[in-house]
Amino acid sequence: METSFALTGKGYVIVAADTTAARSIVKMKDDQDKIKELGSHLLMAYSGEPGDTIQFAEYVERNIRLYQIRNLYPLRPSAAASWIRRSLAESLRSRNAYTVNLLIGGYDLADHKPTLYWIDYLGTVVEVPFAAHGYGSYFALSLLDRWAIALTRGRPRRHTDILLRYHNPEATLEEGLATLKRCINEVSKRLIVSPDRYKVKVVDKDGVREVEL
């Protein structure tokens, strides 16, 4: 089943999504790219109702591009996330709502920060250090909480410290990719309908690029 992950590290955001296109129980394709490059420094992983996803992703892509053509500079990641959220929130109360869940990863050239937004089909948006959508999220989110504790190399002193200590925003890209691999392995191990291939993209100060795991 569809799964996407994203996590931030020192100066970058990694976004990963499975590559399966399925109808019912049949796998139609296993090299589908579900991560759109919305700009030189902006990535969007999308999942949800098959027709809606592509339609909505292209609508977003074209509008973000239009903004850049009109104004010469691109939308900042936070502004793009707000605009996309609003589109979904307006769609939610329309006759035919888009059922699309998104992860927006970007590098803001104005304040030199990597940012990640978790957005669901209702138009809920929240900025997070790591995020996931789909069945994989049930495994990945708890793993990321725990994995990050291991990175602190110390026993959390109190129960309440756990979530405050999870994220290592200073991890290098190699460490970040290793963490991502653990998520993918965990999902493969525990989820009955786990996807077997993922596409992984990274955005940092140099822009977006695809990486091989």
Partner 1 sequence: MVGKDCVAIASDLRLGTQALGISSNFQRVPVSHFSRVCPSLTICQVFPITDRLYVGLPGLGTDVTTLYERFRYRVNMYTIKEEREIHPETFTHMVSSTLYEHRFGPYFIEPVVAGLSKLPTGGLKPFIAAMDLIGCINFAKDFVVAGTASSKLYGVAEGLWEPDLEPEDLFETISQTLLNAVDRDAFSGWGAVVHVITKDRVISRTLKARMD
Partner 2 sequence: MYTTDSIIYRSDYDILSRRSPIPEYVPSHLLYPTTQSTTILFIVEYAMEAISHAGTVLGVLAKDGVVLVAEKRVTGKLLDLSSAKEGGGGYGGSGEKMFLINSNVIGGVAGITSDANSLVNYARSVAQRYLLQYNQDIPVEQLAQRLCDMKQGYTQYGGLRPFGVSILYAGYDPHYRFQLYHSDPSGNYSGWKATCIGANNGTAQSLLKQEYKDDMGIDEAIKLVLKVMSRTMDSTTLGSEKLEIAVLTYDEAAKKPKAKIYKPIEIDGLLLMHEMSKKTEEAMKS
Residues in contact with partner 1 by the rule CB under 8 A = 85-86, 88-89, 92-93, 118, 120, 122-128, 131, 137-138, 141, 159-160, 162-163
Task: With contacts defined by CB under 8 A, name the span among 7-15, 69-77, 97-105, 200-208 that binds partner 2.
Answer: 69-77
Tokens of 188: 């493969």
The minimum distance between CB 159 and partner 1, in angstroms, equals: 6
The minimum distance between CB 107 and partner 2, in angstroms, equals: 15
CA distance 35 to 92: 22
Tokens of 98: 């888009």
Q: Which residues contact 14 (CB under 8 A, 6 or more apart)?
A: 5, 6, 7, 8, 105, 173, 176, 177, 180, 200, 201, 202, 211
Partner touching 131 among partner 1, partner 2, none, CB below 5 to 8 Å by kind:
partner 1
Partner touching 93 among partner 2, partner 1, none, CB below 5 to 8 Å by kind:
partner 1
Phi first, then psi: give them for residue 99, nearest 5 degrees.
Answer: -105, 80
Interacting positions 70-129 with partner 2 (CB under 8 A): 71, 73, 75-76, 78-79, 82-83, 86, 110-111
Q: What type of residue is 35?
A: I
